[in-house]
Structure 1
Amino acid sequence: MNTGRRAAAALLAAALLLAGCSSGSGGEDGEEGPGPGPSGRTDDGKAAGLRGITLPSWNTGDYSSPEAAAYLRQIAATGARWVTFTPTWYQDGAADAGMHTTGETASDDSLRHIIGLAHGTGLKVMLKPHVDLAKGGDRAGIRPRDADAWFTAYERFITHYATLAADTGAEQLAVGTELAGTSRDGARWSKVVRAVRARYRGPLTYAANYDEYRTVPFWGDLDVIGIDAYWPLADRPTADAARLRDAWKPIMQELAAFSQRQHRKILFTEAGYVSQRGTTTAPYSWTVSKSGGEDEQAAAYEALLTALDGKPWWAGVCWWMWDDWPDTGETPRRLAYTPHGKPAEEVLRRRWHSAGTD
């Protein structure tokens, strides 16, 4: 989900409509995840048995705000074992050769603060840095005129967070998110991954969009395949969980085969549904309708967790997203992605608490 400019992303959602993190078997030991082996992947092919929720930031001080500790306690109360944080840099144009911080970029001090709070709450951490467009638009449209200069800047950006992840003990790191305009460049991305591994020894992933992952050539350099799982599941609004589970069947067949070919598990680095009528027709849209749809959101949560539970190739899910910070939400809370205080939260509590530590 292109988080830095949510309003712009919402405007793109209607056009995208026509375009064609929970594991029931992960235990406490499995959740920790082994370190990378000599081949650059985990020794047994496992990532974390991840039951997670993303807590994004929209401003430099969000992660050090008074609400941070309360949000983490709320996330842990769902049965989540992981939380994802998303520091974001921006570039002014899609063809520019570099990215920079803005007043919307989480400060390093705030990241260190909230990672410490997360660990103190008993949550493991995935750090998932984003690059967005300062004037809005889909980050998949980033296609630099000077690829060498852009990748040099990107390596500087991501190794900064690799060092921070290592220093704070973050348990997993995503080397990129939904950068489809660059992700086919396997040689340059492999160089970036090598630079990250020189600074951080935990498991690595890349968060490919659901329509991008097949064309990513550097999965072999990573420990787990990451997919932001926004597949449309219906052609009309529905709260029929059984129908939505059936919609996952062909997707799961494709993913199982892909996992087998790549010799890596698949982690849903993002998955989510707004509480709006029609969310299952366009899960990537912040503004699919103006009508509430908490029952449809809950059915979509239930369908994903039921359909994927126990699949040997599936490494888990990190849901998009928990609450917005005060005074930053562009979508009213009752219609937003958060499951907090909605039937979808009860789905998480029932599914994740019943899973226990197995």
Structure 2
Amino acid sequence: MKRFVIFILPTTVLGITVAVPLIWGDHPLKFDHKRPTEVHWAGAAEDQGRVWGFGKDAPAAEDTGPKVARPWAKGSPEWGVQVYWLDDPADPETFVQGKADRIVKYVVGLNANALSVSFPFYTTGGKSNAVAARPTTPGPERLALLLDAAKRAGLRTTVRPILDEESLRAVKDGWRGNIAPSDKDAWFASYATFLAPYLKTAQEHGATEFTIGTEFNSLENAPQWAGLVEQAKKTFHGEVVYDANWDNWSKGAVPVPTEQTGVDAYFPAKSLGDDASVGDLAASWNGWLDKRGKGPQPATKLTEVGIPAQKGAYKTPGDFYTKRELNEPVQATWFTAVCQVAQERKLAGIYFWSLYFGIDPTLPTNQDTPRMDFAGRPASEEAIRKCFAQTYEVPPVQPPAAAPAG
């Protein structure tokens, strides 16, 4: 998705540049974008106070942190946050642990019961037959720190590798959903090799779910998925799922053979202006969901819901690239509307985008803050808290009807 560089001043300030998704056309792309922040590392309490979870004076990890008030259980909605993790390999393990604790504390404070950790892997071009980790890909051992912190807090967890698009941006329609490996067998073999240690970590550290692919429109009909999913299930015994892009999902069932298909929901509400009401936006959400059927949709999980806090965003909620005049109510109202629809239609859950692993989410935003971020935007945070404070019963998913004989 993106790159960033961290400079560490261990007892005072951490300057961070954090990358944020961009868009090309209707598809979210993840390129470079900066969010400067300040993080005060824990020193003597009388000198600077303490950032929760950081510093040599921090209590033992198992003794710290808040707990989810109402943990997820089967039949209840997944109220989740997508955490995007671009690793800084210069961070010692103690700093990574502190970041994990801080993020978990913030997510629990939003009344969430679930956390999905998305992180990048890389390719060299749209026709490449190989994928691989880079230094900004958190290793399995680091990933385990966040999974363990989330588990201690009672959060449901998902591990979600996602193909970075930096090497694709130079070509027309450079998006992960348009890749065309010249040898699909080789590509899937390379992908399986990359996934293997993360599946092992997900299993050993209690993840509930593993997302085996995200937004691979051009590969969804590939027969190699069946073997990849079967291989993954030998290591990981939780739910193996796939997340489709909003456009392919709305056309009908996605053919990747996983237990569940989520959807990254950035459909455009083209007719609505910045003054649209919650009701107007809810009607737009319902119109899009109706493409897959009327009424309750307990099999539908919105794995990414995000929108820039700026003017004109309802027409292009997946536009991570264009920076227009700030309008925070646009984001908060969108969040409120999708929550209302989720309750009315008994959706399986919502995961809000975006929260970046390296930032301090308690800091206020400024003009340089990426528009897609919701952390530090009080109205958006309150919309999420109110949403996640509610619950409903998600009906059992009915298996598809058998085809008539003859």
Q: TM-score range by the shorter chain?
A: 0.7 to 0.9
More helix by share: 1
Rounded to whole Å, the distance in 2 between the matches of 1:154 and 1:340 is: 36
Aligned-pair distance for 1:343? 0.5
Matched, 1:55 2:72: no
Distance 1:14 1:133, change over 3 A: closer
Mapping of 1:64-143 within 5 angstroms?
64=96, 66-137=98-169, 138-143=175-180
Aligned-pair distance for 1:56? 0.6
Q: Which residue does the alignment assign to 2:338?
A: 304
* Bigger Rg, structure 1 or 2: 2
> RCO higher in 1 or 2 (8 Å CA, sep ≥ 6)?
1
Distance 1:259 1:3, change over 3 A: farther
**Deviation digits for residues 212-254 of structure 1, max 9, x if unmatched?**
22476535x3222211011112335324222111111221222
Aligned-pair distance for 1:334? 6.0
Q: TM-score, normalised by structure 2?
A: 0.72
Q: Which residue does the alignment assign to 2:7?
A: none
Aligned-pair distance for 1:282? 1.0
Rounded to whole Å, the distance in 2 between the matches of 1:254 and 1:309 is: 18
2:325 aligned to which of 273, 276, 291: 291
Rounded to whole Å, the distance in 2 between the matches of 1:287 and 1:106 is: 25
Q: TM-score, normalised by structure 1?
A: 0.81
Rounded to whole Å, the distance in 2 between the matches of 1:294 and 1:350 is: 17
Q: Considering only aligned residues, what root-mean-square deviation do their CA atoms show, in Å? A: 3.2
1:10 aligned to which of 16, 19, 22: 22
Matched, 1:267 2:279: no
Distance 1:162 1:323, change over 3 A: closer
Matched, 1:348 2:381: no
Aligned-pair distance for 1:157? 2.1
Rounded to whole Å, the distance in 2 between the matches of 1:196 and 1:316 is: 24
Rounded to whole Å, the distance in 1 between the matches of 2:164 and 2:179 is: 9
Tell me, what secondary structure is at the counterpart of 1:126? strand
Rounded to whole Å, the distance in 2 between the matches of 1:4 and 1:210 is: 25
Aligned partner letter, 2:352: W
Aligned-pair distance for 1:98? 0.6
2:290 aligned to which of 253, 272, 297: 253
Corresponding residue pairs, total = 325
Aligned-pair distance for 1:201? 1.4
Tell me, what secondary structure is at the counterpart of 1:320? strand
Q: Which residue does the alignment assign to 1:145?
A: 182
2:218 aligned to which of 178, 181, 198: 181
**Deviation digits for residues 100-128 of structure 1, max 9, x if unmatched?**
11121112221011111111222121111
1:231 aligned to which of 257, 264, 267: 267
Uncovered stretches (5+) of structure 1, i.e. residues with no partner: 17-26, 34-45
Q: Which residue does the alignment assign to 1:243?
A: 280
